């Protein structure tokens, strides 16, 4: 597939690039590692992170009969009997639920607790950290649209992430510079109606798309979904998150706030 007119891969500035696409979780996770000299060790670093992604599937996939989360949902295991990492994610989900006044609520879904709305962004951030921790500090992990970045895409240029146009798959509406942070987007334009408002099940979504930019991938993922449900009312949650930014799309209207949009130069 060719890139459409108007969108180009950012210049590497003389750096090398190693990419990998991993089918996992019913989607594809993309790795992009940059640096002056990469070699085969970069592929090994990616391989460690790929193993983690498949471990995440074993912990959190609600589609797998043998996952930790399925055992918890079915009552075969208690919360205390689930792996520590699952408990930790559920604790972080509780904090996200509190922050959003119950709009993000993995416990409100039919079938039992489902932290999927947190896990993808959380796992992308940790996967990027694994690659960085194995000697490759300039890495971008894209988990089906939830992006985690470390370092730079080219010398002195932090990663530039395009926000997809909800109505036009081949257009970006905005480019944000993401230095060591996560960019998560939620909306129903890709997979149809699948987001549930715990306060009003069956209610229409307030936004077409919400993108959240911040230092915590799981929370970014959760807040993006919660903003789609709550719309501009959810902006109040960010009073406690001064480092965070968001880009909201309702129909053909866009609005945004936060330090990622402090300058029009980010276009």
Partner 1 sequence: MKLTIKVQNGQLTAIDYSNTTVNDGRSQQINLNALPALVQEALASQSAQVSSISGASYTSQAFQTALQNALTKAGN
**From 59-67, 76-84, 126-134, 244-252, span contacting partner 1 (CB under 8 A):** 244-252
Say how far apart CA 112 and CA 188 lie, in whole Å. 22
Our finding on whether 190 is near partner 1 (CB under 8 A) is yes
Q: How far is the CB of 120 from partner 1 (least distance, A)?
A: 7
**From 54-62, 77-85, 128-136, 145-153, span contacting partner 1 (CB under 8 A):** 145-153
**From 62-70, 84-92, 129-137, 255-263, span contacting partner 1 (CB under 8 A):** 255-263
Chain center to CA of 205: 19
Joined tokens for residue 263: 């300058």
Using the rule CB under 8 A, which residue among 16, 19, 81, 88 binds partner 1? 19
Our finding on whether 179 is near partner 1 (CB under 8 A) is no
The span from the first CA to the last CA of the chain, in angstroms, equals 25
Cβ-based nearer residue to partner 1, 71 or 241: 241
Our finding on whether 127 is near partner 1 (CB under 8 A) is no
Using the rule CB under 8 A, which residue among 16, 28, 155, 203 binds partner 1? 28
Handedness of CA 199, 203, 207, 211 (dihedral sign): positive
- Please provide the DSSP assignment of 80-148 as one string: GGS-HHHHHHHHHHHHHHHHTTTSS-TTSSTTS--THHHHHHHHHHHHHHHHHHTT---EEEEETTEEE
Q: By CB under 8 A, what part of segment 38-97 binds partner 1?
A: none
């Amino acid at each position: 597939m060719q890139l459409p007119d108007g969108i180009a891969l950012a210049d590497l500035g003389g750096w090398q690039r190693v990419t990998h696409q991993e089918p996992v979780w019913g989607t594809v996770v993309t790795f992009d590692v940059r640096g002056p000299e990469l070699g085969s060790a970069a592929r090994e670093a990616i391989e460690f992170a790929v193993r983690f992604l498949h471990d995440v599937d074993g912990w959190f996939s609600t589609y797998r009969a043998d996952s930790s989360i399925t055992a918890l949902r079915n009552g075969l295991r208690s919360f205390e009997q689930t792996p520590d990492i699952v408990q930790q994610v559920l604790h972080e989900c509780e904090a996200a639920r509190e922050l959003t006044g119950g709009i993000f609520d993995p416990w409100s879904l039919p079938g039992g607790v489902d932290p999927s709305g947190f896990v993808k962004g959380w796992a992308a951030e940790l996967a990027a950290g694994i690659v960085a921790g194995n000697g490759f500090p300039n890495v971008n992990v894209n988990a089906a649209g939830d992006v985690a970045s470390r370092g730079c895409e080219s010398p002195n240029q932090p990663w530039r992430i395009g926000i997809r146009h909800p109505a036009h798959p081949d257009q970006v509406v905005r480019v944000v510079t993401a230095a060591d942070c996560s960019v998560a987007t939620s909306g129903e334009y890709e997979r149809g109606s699948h987001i549930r408002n715990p306060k009003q099940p069956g209610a229409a979504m307030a936004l077409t798309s919400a993108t959240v930019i911040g230092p915590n991938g799981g929370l970014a993922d959760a807040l993006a979904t919660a903003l789609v449900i709550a719309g501009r009312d959810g902006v109040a949650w960010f009073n406690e998150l001064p480092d965070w930014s968001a880009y909201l799309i309702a129909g053909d209207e866009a609005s945004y706030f936060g330090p990622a949009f402090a300058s029009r130069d980010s276009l």
